[in-house]
Structure 1
Amino acid sequence: MKIAVDAMGGDNAPQSVVEGVEKARDAFEDMEFVLFGKVDEIKPLVKDQTRISFEQADEVIVMNDEPVKAIRRKKQSSLVLAAKAVKEGQADALFSCGNTGALLAAGLLLIGRIKGVERPGLLSTLPVVSSAQGGFNLLDSGANADNKPEYLHQFAVMGKFYAQTVRGIENPRIGLLNNGTEPHKGSKLTQAAYQLISEDPSLNFVGNVESRDLTNGVCDVAVADGFTGNAVLKAIEGTASAVMHLVKDSVKDANLFGKLGALMFKPNLMKIKDRVNPSRYGGAVLLGVKAPVVKAHGSSDAQTVYYTMKQIRTILNENLLSKFKTAFQTQDEEQN
């Protein structure tokens, strides 16, 4: 499998991108990578060019670029050229740590939607308290600010397939993010979406769920409109980061016995830090487009890039996209 990589996207690019790619290349013999960007900057960073090739891109889409304008105007950018390689079948998936909006625009405008999908959604995986559950999926986590009930129903369907295929959950529990658990709670959008999702026999729908219960593992897939989902995503990430900083500060301010206790407890603290770090679950996946489009944090390090490549490999190996195409083609035929 061949991955088109926007090597210039992200705060630590191209260094962290190259290091993560080489780590994934060494771990997975069935993966090869095409790095798009300024070759004179990228190539010297690559220690071993085995299964790594380069494509020159003279432009870079930066974080403050307006997404759609950037895609249309910077046609020689690393992101646009990588997306075109996927569109033309020269690569199987697209990866970037860069401008999220631009990546979403590239996925929609260049790679295109799967037939029958009304709006692609951005799926993120976030931690839960129970290590056995291994996190939960949040969909949509930022691709669509304006939504219809039908979009949320399709997010539930795509989330189910992702949880089954990539995470290995046989019958994933689907929850609808709301401001209360009662069926009548919420806006007109969530009430209508509740009706559609609850009437779908293919979904293991557990009803409305509240944001405070998500990290306790109340569901495997939480469905939300993109505005709400993105707010919840950032709140969870920010809280996890704040808690770890509080722990560090309390150790710094402790007396000698407190510091000794913290030293003894350090291995456990490192395990907690690893579990609450969203990066270990990979990147955010744009579901509903014709090829995997995956976004990692702009501040991603090499380890995060590696985890995301591992995630992309699973998506491709398990033929997730073909399952989407079959499901939505059948749905489209039934509606017509």
Structure 2
Amino acid sequence: MRVVVIGATGHVGGYLVPRLVAAGHEVVALSRGRQRLYREDPAWASVRSETVDRAAEDADGVFGARIAALEPDVVVDMVCFTPESATQLLDALRGTGARLVMCGTIWVHGALTAVPALEHEDREPWGEYGVGKAAIEDLVLAEAARADGVPSTILHPGHISGPGWPVITPAGNLDADVWRRLATGERLVLPGLGLETLHHVHADDVAQAFALAVERPEGADGRAFHVVSERALTLRGYAEEAARWWGRTADLEFLPFDAFAATTTPEHVATSWEHVARSSSVSIAAAREHLGYAPRFTSLDAAREAVARLAGTPGSGVPSLP
């Protein structure tokens, strides 16, 4: 098949594109062309690459037509962030025979009632990102339900992790000093009781799910799936296990969120709140059943691989892993 990947050079694309090439597909990779690949791979030599400014072309009303002109069998859209952008793409693909596989987020859920949450449960998102992605999902799946609509699938990754990508820490943010404290045995302050949860996923496991959705339309079309590791982590458990990477015992202190906020920067506070307030923990049962999804990495495995790349780098302050 000819597979057009929009946002192909991102963290997931670095794993997805080689997977698609290895499976024998013709790949057209679209990106802004402003960053190096996260992962070098010989497969890129056989990929047709195009540079595109999606925002500008969306504004001009030509992006969807650009994609349709590539005559794809499948479009993988990793970087759709507004319903308007999704609508333009769907309008252009309708009637072409192309399928659409789009990247969502587990943040389409609001506060969870029972965990792990299923795809249809607690759908009251909050925050610009979660609300926007939920609106896109509604559009895409409504389109898939039409007799003349574009066959479509939505995949909802958790906190994407892996080498070369900042990983969400046990404090729910991207503060590298969290890793330094765990590595050196210094006290680490965490918000709440430490029982709040995070649900990571390795970028290669996300790529696995997208490749499966490309190749298994009978199980994928018209559905949304969570794409995460087997199990979520509590903040406390995550910190304790991470400290052991350096042969340490975590020295942890737990504070109510307002008191925790006084211990770090506004940027880290905002990121922690986004993660801790949601305390994501979602099920992959549907992806297992309908796609054959089987994550290779646990949440801790994914985080450790990311931290191993960070550790020992100049300016990080994080000691190398043993």
Which interval holds the TM-score relative to the shorter structure? Answer: 0.3 to 0.5
More helix per residue: 1 or 2?
1
Bigger relative CO (Cα 8 Å, ≥ 6 apart): 1
What TM-score do the two structures reach when normalised by structure 1?
0.36
